[in-house]
Amino acid sequence: MYRIFLFLFTISNTFFVLANAQNETVVQYKEGLIQISKLEAFIDKSKKLTIEDVKNKKFSPHKTSFSITNSAIWAKIRIENLSDSDSIFLEIKNPVLFDLSFYTVSIDSVFNSLFLGRKYKFSERIIGEVTSFVYPVFIPRASVSTVFMRIDSYTPIHLPLYLGKKELIIKNNLDVVLKMGIYIGVVLIMLFYNLFISFTVKDNSYYYYVVYIIFVG
Residues 140-166 have a mean pLDDT of 94
At 104 the pLDDT is 95
- What are the φ and ψ backbone dihedral angles of 107, each rounded to 5 degrees? 55, 45
* Count of the separate structural domains present in the chain: 2
Closest alpha carbon to 205 in 216, 194, 214: 194
Structural domain for 68, as ranges: 25-164
Using pLDDT thresholds of 50, 70 and 90, give the confidence band for residue 44.
very high
Same domain, 76 and 160: yes
Residue 207 has pLDDT above 50, yes or no: yes
Same domain, 45 and 146: yes
Residue 12 lies in a domain: no
Residue 85 lies in a domain: yes
Residue 14 has pLDDT above 50, yes or no: no
- What are the φ and ψ backbone dihedral angles of 89, each rounded to 5 degrees? -125, 140
Q: Are 53 and 148 in contact (CB under 8 A)?
A: no
Question: Could you tell me the CATH number of the domain that includes residue 108?
Answer: 2.60.40.2380
At 16 the pLDDT is 34
Residue 60 lies in a domain: yes
Same domain, 55 and 122: yes
The length of the chain, given as a count of residues? 217
% of the chain at pLDDT higher than 70: 88
At 24 the pLDDT is 63
Q: Are 188 and 196 in contact (CB under 8 A)?
A: no
- SS percent in the chain: helix, strand, coil, step 5: 35, 35, 30
